Amino acid sequence: MTKILIVNPNRDTDMEAVILANARKCAPRDTEVDAKSVPSAPLFIENYVDEIVAGTGMLELIEKEEANYDAFIIACHSDVNMDALREKTSKPVIGIGQASLHVASMLGHSFSVIQTTRHSVPMKEDMIRKYGLWERCASVRSVPGDDPTVENMIKAAGEAVEEDGAEVIVLGCAGLAGQEGVIQDALGVPVVDGVACAVFLAAGLVRCGLTVSKRRKYNPQ
């Protein structure tokens, strides 16, 4: 039995429940998935300062739980503090941003990411470039009025498909998990939720005996 822990880098337990439900729905049968929030974290991660505030608690959580799980998932689409967690443990750590962007790249000519806030668009563009996936990115858009209702998600995603040529849509926030079905039905293109992707990727890595390289980048010794 593969055991995966979802690290929720904020302390909103409603969001934790949404994420966990979606994760379990998509997990292989031989995989057990738990989720834990970080008590000292901000209620929601919304900016660069929040990332620092959440950091210490995330490190403590992974230290405490390292022996109890086979792999870890960071349930924030900005993959906050992923490099530090990968440094801390030698078990696989997968960010849901990374997972969703790579899966989306495999499903069509180009993808667009839909963010819940306008100010987070540049940060997400940086992240896509960091992962080397810029060429397959059609656009990063945010929802009207920074209000991620299903209607607004469909509106922004629809514009990405019609105007930017996106063939795949990526949900830009962990809290949107579960919306993928209705948007997919409305637009007729694949809609990718990172939590689901991270779960089957992490489980697959464990099954194949793969983990993150400790050669140089994540090995400070």
> Of residues 137-166, which lie at the interface with a second copy (CB under 8 A)?
161, 165
CB of 47 to a second copy, least distance (A): 4
CB of 19 to a second copy, least distance (A): 14
CB of 144 to a second copy, least distance (A): 15
Strand 71-74 with 2-8, pairing: parallel
Q: Comparing C-alpha atoms, which of 92, 99, 83 is closest to residue 216?
A: 83
Applying CB under 8 A, among 98, 112, 116, 179 the residue interacting with a second copy is: 98
Q: Comparing C-alpha atoms, which of 90, 36, 32 is closest to residue 58?
A: 36
Applying CB under 8 A, among 3, 11, 24, 26 the residue interacting with a second copy is: 26
x/- letters, 56..75, toward a second copy (CB under 8 A): x--x----------------
Applying CB under 8 A, among 21, 90, 109, 163 the residue interacting with a second copy is: 109
Across the strands, what pairs with 72?
A: 5, 93
Buried b / exposed e over 26-49, threshold 16 CB at 10 Å, is bbeeebebebbbbeebbebbeeee
102 interacts with a second copy by CB under 8 A: yes
